[in-house]
Structure 1
């Protein structure tokens, strides 16, 4: 008797690491050294698609005779799985300079910062490791979306090219 595992609905820390690493890759590739069980779960949850080196769907390429390499690449569903609703709202509402909206809840900012999707900057644009809050004065630095934070809500540039 075989048992089929249900696909995960929320990414585990291992899934998150793989998806965040894919987000940082120019082609959105899940790292090659990723554990097989993690890869299977990500694929089963449909957080990534199997694609060729050219970015085309591997299944379609195989139908016309392609037998080259393929890899899993994060898709919009995988990018969405990385964010809470509050995180998605904050990143989508970032200004043209990528500053997160004033009033973004601290827990949201903290999670975005932990995942590398936000950073803290001063008025001169210098990046700081924390918001500078010492418990007395309040935050000294504002949260801004990083390139990854921008990419998680907008997607990859190649996804926007015309056919």
Structure 2
């Protein structure tokens, strides 16, 4: 069964963990994000109040389904926090905030870079910044890519353009 499966929706018990889908494990009832689920011992830490007895009272199927979905999302987020990301190291974005950018800033950068006869990798090497940051700015997704203000300043200075609003 797929990870984060809800197993048997409603009152049916499939014998599988309703968060990770693991089968052939001892299950316990736990409340996760407001939903009462049958979970294995490995997923029990996601629960708010694990207990061993089943609830006699059930929400309607639609409400229970929503609660199970929320519980799965909580589990996914918790698992994702355990992953070590490269972007967590390096630039401290609180100390290097992205300024407000002018409308069409991506096109402005791309045109200026091309006018200078540079490829994204060449510009990145020259400025000693990540090529991915330049690509993100050109694609208009600087904020989503967590591009720092120092990158914007370096691009403006090198290409003689204005990307940030004053």
Global fold match (TM > 0.5): no
TM-score of the superposed pair, with normalisation by structure 2: 0.29
Q: Which has the higher strand share?
A: 1
